[in-house]
A and B are shown apart, each in its own frame.
Chain A
Amino acid sequence: MLDDFFTRAILAGIGVALVAGPLGCFIVWRRLAYFGDTLSHAALLGVALAFLFEINITLAVFGVSACVSIALLLLQKQGTLSSDALLGLLAHSALALGLVALAFMTWIRMDLMGFLFGDILAVSRMDIAIIWMGGIVVLAVLAIIWRPLFAATINRELAEAEGMNPERVNIIFMLLMAAVIAISMKIVGVLLITAMLIIPAATARRFSSGPEQMALMAAIIGAAAVVGGLFGSLEWDTPAGPSIVVAALILFILSLMPVFSRPSPKPGEMAPQASEPQKGTRP
């Protein structure tokens, strides 16, 4: 069955979506969308380095993304520039460095478009193995650090006061992000990875009443977008990566329809805002 390129594409895409969903929730909760962009832009530098040193592309992308994450942490600690300025600086410097490095390597004929927009229809069995094994490791680590990571997302000082180590889980989270960028680059491409992280998570928000539920929903919605996007791309002969993102966007727009809004809350549980103050402040 893996002989069929389309089946391989679906398997690879679902593998990425299952990992990107839960991680994307943290991106949304922590308002890190631009951080995801920065890492994925830096991925192109990883591709260039992989060609230069003839190492595995996934590994090189992970390495560069991890370095950019650490650089960001260190620069943030220095506190001279604001975070968004730092992210922009790192993102576009890494992107430009990658493009310049690739231009120097005249002996390499590579399809830049494939890296920018993904080449999911060309995934090999090896790619699928990397995506699923890498994905399982990422999800396992995320499960282990879930409680402290979530607590630090709500309030860093509270988490630290109550015996957690927000600094450490933040670094681990950044490395997980780097890993996801590395394994999903081939699927949707550098320019669209952030969409796979954010759109399913944003869609899942409307159907979720708890963080764990939202992570699960985001994974499922992402997988649905992959299947929908790939079939659409086959049907209408559109590029696969962008089609997946468009499918995710359609799911998001559908989720905004009133029909799909969450069932109305049980009485007394989510009373309308107007009646809250009187009830709440009564001793």
Chain B
Amino acid sequence: MLHKPDSLVTLDTAGIHRAGRWLVRGVNLAIEPGEIVTLIGPNGSGKSTTAKMALGILKPDEGAVQRRADLKVSYVPQKLAVDWTLPLTVRRFMRLTGHVSVHEAESAMASTGVAHLAGAEVRTLSGGEFQRVMLARAVARKPDLLVLDEPVQGVDFSGEIALYDLIKRIRDEMHCGILLISHDLHVVMAATDRVICLNGHVCCSGTPTVVASSAEYKALFGARAASTLAVYEHHHDHTHLPDGRVEHGDGTITDHCHPEDGHHHHHGSEGKSDA
């Protein structure tokens, strides 16, 4: 991937090695301002690890991560448990990591539709409400880069569409780069500029254009949903065995997957088909 000077963050063949194996390796990725990049892949494929490298939480064991100077990041983690012992209203949560004016907080809450929850305790919110509150908090910081780890988790399907719409609107209005991690291999948002499929390394990447027209997707979710969501279909040519080794399409077994591994549609050993 080319490194442009205005890239928000660039990963150059970055990898993380833990306890004798590579969680993810050889990741090339750049996020430009105003661009939505979606990471998909099966469980344990290194999506969160890759995002954490981009965020600077994890230092790559090989390769390099470059972040633009003074990059302002907002992060919406996958899980955030607020203990009963911790009194925390939505209003207070909005200024968790930095000063946010009352006006900024209110307009951010209004934009994600949670203005009425300002006085509510965070731990009493439902899954969908909490996701919107976390999004509002992230937006109120006016970030250059917004990283969302499975933002539609625990949200029902109609809420999921609305949340994807909201993410697109945030990008359009704030022109920030967005790195989105999707738990669903087959469903990614149509507004995504680039989809990167991980499976221990970058399997493939590209625009998700083909997918919206996919017949089986329409059959499953209806045409209206298809205008918002898109299916990104592909097959993995290798399977990660429980012991960490990799079985390739041709039946060979190696310790790691190879950077040149990709996907071949004629092979049948794909990861999941749960959509």
Contact partners of A263 in chain B: CB under 8 A: none
Chain A residues numbered 208-235 whose CB sits less than 8 Å from any CB in chain B: 208-211, 213-214
Contact partners of A31 in chain B: CB under 8 A: 83
Q: A276-B124, A281-B155 are in contact. Are A214 and B87 (CB under 8 A)?
A: yes
Q: A162-B97, A270-B124, A277-B126 are in contact. Are A157 and B75 (CB under 8 A)?
A: yes
Q: A269-B120, A281-B156 are in contact. Are A211 and B97 (CB under 8 A)?
A: no
Report whether B87 and A283 are in contact in the complex, using a CB–CB cutoff of 8 Å. Answer: no
Taken residue by residue from 66 to 87, chain B's Cβ proximity to chain A (1 for < 8 Å, 0 otherwise) reads as 0000001111010010111111
- The stretch that binds B, out of A9-17, A36-44, A107-115, A148-156, is A148-156
Q: Which of A214, A270, A283 has a CB less than 8 Å from the CB of B120? A: A270
Q: Smallest CB-CB separation from B129: which chain A residue? A: A280
B204 within 8 A of partner (CB): no
Q: A157-B77, A163-B73, A211-B92 are in contact. Are A281 and B158 (CB under 8 A)?
A: yes
Q: Which of A155, A208, A271 has a CB less than 8 Å from the CB of B87? A: A208
Q: Which of B75, B87, B97 has a CB less than 8 Å from the CB of A147? A: B97
Chain A nearest CB: distance from B166 CB in Å? 9
Taken residue by residue from 247 to 260, chain A's Cβ proximity to chain B (1 for < 8 Å, 0 otherwise) reads as 00000000000000
B110 within 8 A of partner (CB): no
Q: Which of B72, B97, B129, B141 has a CB less than 8 Å from the CB of A151? A: B97
A186 within 8 A of partner (CB): no
B275 within 8 A of partner (CB): no
Report whether B125 and A154 are in contact in the complex, using a CB–CB cutoff of 8 Å. Answer: no
Chain A residues numbered 109-158 whose CB sits less than 8 Å from any CB in chain B: 147-148, 150-151, 153-155, 157-158
- The stretch that binds A, out of B37-45, B51-59, B218-226, is B51-59
Q: Give the size of the chain A interface in residues (CB under 8 angstroms).
A: 40
Q: A202-B85, A213-B87 are in contact. Are A283 and B75 (CB under 8 A)?
A: no
In angstroms, Cα B121 to Cα A205, docked, is 13
Chain A residues numbered 1-52 whose CB sits less than 8 Å from any CB in chain B: 28-29, 31
Contact partners of B96 in chain A: CB under 8 A: 150-151, 154, 158
Report whether B161 and A269 are in contact in the complex, using a CB–CB cutoff of 8 Å. Answer: no
A85 within 8 A of partner (CB): no
Q: A163-B97, A164-B97, A265-B119 are in contact. Are A158 and B87 (CB under 8 A)?
A: no
Q: A157-B77, A209-B121 are in contact. Are A268 and B116 (CB under 8 A)?
A: yes
B29 within 8 A of partner (CB): no
Report whether A153 and B86 are in contact in the complex, using a CB–CB cutoff of 8 Å. Answer: yes
Q: Smallest CB-CB separation from A164: which chain B residue? A: B97
A273 within 8 A of partner (CB): yes
Chain A nearest CB: distance from B9 CB in Å? 12
Contact partners of A161 in chain B: CB under 8 A: 52, 55-57, 73, 75, 147
Chain B nearest CB: distance from A115 CB in Å? 30
Taken residue by residue from 132 to 173, chain B's Cβ proximity to chain A (1 for < 8 Å, 0 otherwise) reads as 000000000100000100000001101101110100000000
Taken residue by residue from 103 to 135, chain B's Cβ proximity to chain A (1 for < 8 Å, 0 otherwise) reads as 000000000000011111100111111000000
Chain B residues numbered 156-205 whose CB sits less than 8 Å from any CB in chain A: 156, 158-159, 161-163, 165
In angstroms, Cα B82 to Cα A162, docked, is 18
Query: Most B CB atoms within 10 A — which of A31, A202, A280?
Result: A280
B98 within 8 A of partner (CB): yes
The 4 closest A-B pairs by CB, nearest first: A283-B162, A280-B126, A280-B129, A161-B75
* A-B contacts, 8 listed (Cβ < 8 Å): A148-B97, A154-B86, A158-B75, A160-B55, A161-B75, A266-B119, A269-B119, A270-B119
Using A157-B57, A202-B85, A281-B155 as known contacts, list a sample of 11 further A-B pairs with CB atoms less than 8 Å apart, ordered by residue number in A: A157-B52, A157-B75, A158-B75, A158-B80, A164-B97, A265-B120, A280-B129, A281-B127, A281-B128, A281-B129, A281-B156
Enumerate chain B interface residues (CB-CB to A < 8 A): 52, 55-57, 72-75, 77, 80, 82-89, 92-93, 96-98, 116-121, 124-129, 141, 147, 155-156, 158-159, 161-163, 165
